[in-house]
């Protein structure tokens, strides 16, 4: 039996997950789960890095206390684009900014005054979002941020956390690819962008590939947790790269949807797709496992529901996600259709208010009850999925025949069924803990416990329950999709 630990940090929560491979089966056990908080100070939003590192050590300590010191490796994955800075003495500089921080407001347009949107996309093939690393770093250059004066290395979040564990400073490829600073074809830093925008390229270094041993657990971390100095292995350090690695698919005519705070919907290709249409439709080409490209659209996901839930909790109504789905079952369909990618939903002070304002601007009947809010969010997400799939089909010869939904959102049976209804495709949901599972698969390949990504996917299909959904009420969904197409901005 081989054992690995995935340290999976999401935008809302983190977890330490133990994976065991035995008798051609993979089993997982959640050892530790914790909240990931964004902290607002003087108008800026930060991640609490020290707390995250402390929780990481709590997870490793629980592994040791539960008799799992005999692990073969540890891997870290996180959300994309965010980074921290390290000085010449290997001290990290301040808490990393969170991607929803307003420092990037208006920065994309300032960058386009220097380098055109088309030129940036031709280099990087990355979807334009103001939260991308390129615009975060450019905002610091524009403001002459004092941290840049003392920084000697920029480290993306999983690389930064791995540095705290090992003392080694690395740039893992799948994570670096989200930055919009990497050339999608050469898979190296795009020096023209650094030069034209005045970005400090001296903060970067060469890349490592998924499956590389990034270092060993520092003695002090081992002593604090009771673990041996095991190998820290770079998985697909961007959480979506790990999640896609765990998609239990065969063949080529399938799409994946990593469903959580964000919805990431796309296909796996061997080469980037960089064209007028992919630029027009704002698709991204991110690095995947085994030299693949994840050609996808990053669209707002269950963030809208999370925002409503938090707002209602502040008003005194605490509801679980299961309870929210239940009340959505009791209301009529299609109260309103919203575009999940409307800028007003990126970081509103109050999500229900933002939805009401959106409906007013679009001349739609606003949701009245909590159930109508929830159902409208799910219906709108499902219609957006169809919109994205149709655009993928228009840019390739083969059409998508199956949609695999993985991640925490794959537990949402209502949204899964709506996705099947809206797209007209069969949907296969699961596994839920896809990111941690993909993290573990890459570690197992690195240690020769598995021989290929496809073997890992077959292991997933044989190890975890999957649920299938067939399309229903297709004509009704076709009717409302015609309305949705008119309001979707991208």
Of the candidates 416, 382, 399, the one whose C-alpha atom is nearest the C-alpha of residue 484 is 382
Residue 342 known to be catalytic: no
Question: Cis bond leading into 284, ω under 30°?
Answer: no
Asked if residue 403 lies in contact with residue 426, where contact means CB atoms within 8 angstroms, the answer is yes
For 205, phi then psi, to 5°, come to: -150, -175
Q: State the catalytic residue, choosing from 8, 159, 239, 339.
A: 239
Known catalytic residues?
A: 239
């Amino acid at each position: 039996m081989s054992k690995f630990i995935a340290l999976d940090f999401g935008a809302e929560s983190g977890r330490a997950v133990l994976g065991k491979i035995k008798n051609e089966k993979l089993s997982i056990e959640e050892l530790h789960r914790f909240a990931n908080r964004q902290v607002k100070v003087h108008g800026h939003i930060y991640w609490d890095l020290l707390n995250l590192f402390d929780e990481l050590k709590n997870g490793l300590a629980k592994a040791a206390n539960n008799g799992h010191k005999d692990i073969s490796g540890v891997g870290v994955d996180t959300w994309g684009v965010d980074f921290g800075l390290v000085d010449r003495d290997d001290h990290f500089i301040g808490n990393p900014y969170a991607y929803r921080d307003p420092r990037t407001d208006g920065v994309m347009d300032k960058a386009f005054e220097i380098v055109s949107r088309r030129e940036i996309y031709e280099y990087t093939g990355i979807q334009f979002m103001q939260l991308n690393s390129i615009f975060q770093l450019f905002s610091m250059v524009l403001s002459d941020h004092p941290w840049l004066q003392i920084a000697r290395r920029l480290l993306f979040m999983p690389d930064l956390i791995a540095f705290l564990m090992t003392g080694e400073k690395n740039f893992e490829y799948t994570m670096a690819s989200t930055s919009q600073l990497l050339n999608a074809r050469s898979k190296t830093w795009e020096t023209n962008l650094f030069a034209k925008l005045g970005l400090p390229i001296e903060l970067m270094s060469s890349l490592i590939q998924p499956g590389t041993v990034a270092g060993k657990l520092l003695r002090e971390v081992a002593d604090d947790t009771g673990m041996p100095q095991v190998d820290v292995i770079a998985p697909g350090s961007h959480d979506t790269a790990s999640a896609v690695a765990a998609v239990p698919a065969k063949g080529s005519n399938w799409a994946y949807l990593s469903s959580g705070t964000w919805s990431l919907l796309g296909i796996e290709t061997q080469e980037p797709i960089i064209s007028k249409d992919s630029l027009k439709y704002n698709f991204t080409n991110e690095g995947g496992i085994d030299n693949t490209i994840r050609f996808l659209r990053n669209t707002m996901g269950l963030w809208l529901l999370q925002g409503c839930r938090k707002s209602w909790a502040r008003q005194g109504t605490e509801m679980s996600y299961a309870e929210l789905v239940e009340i959505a079952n009791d209301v009529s369909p299609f109260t309103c259709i919203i575009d999940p990618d409307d800028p007003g939903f990126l970081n509103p002070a109050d999500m229900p208010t933002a939805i009401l304002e959106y409906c007013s601007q679009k001349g739609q009947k606003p949701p009245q009850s909590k159930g109508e809010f929830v159902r409208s969010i799910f219906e709108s997400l499902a219609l957006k999925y169809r919109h994205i799939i149709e655009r993928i089909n228009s840019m390739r010869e083969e059409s998508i025949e199956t949609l695999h939904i993985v991640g925490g959102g794959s537990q949402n049976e209502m949204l899964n069924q709506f996705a099947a209804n809206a797209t007209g495709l069969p949907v296969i949901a699961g596994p839920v803990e896809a990111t941690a599972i993909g993290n573990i698969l890459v570690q197992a390949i690195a240690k020769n416990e598995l021989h290929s990504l496809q073997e890992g996917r077959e292991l997933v299909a044989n190890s975890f329950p999957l649920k299938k959904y067939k399309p229903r009420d297709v004509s009704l969904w076709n009717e409302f999709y015609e309305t949705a197409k008119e309001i979707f901005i991208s």
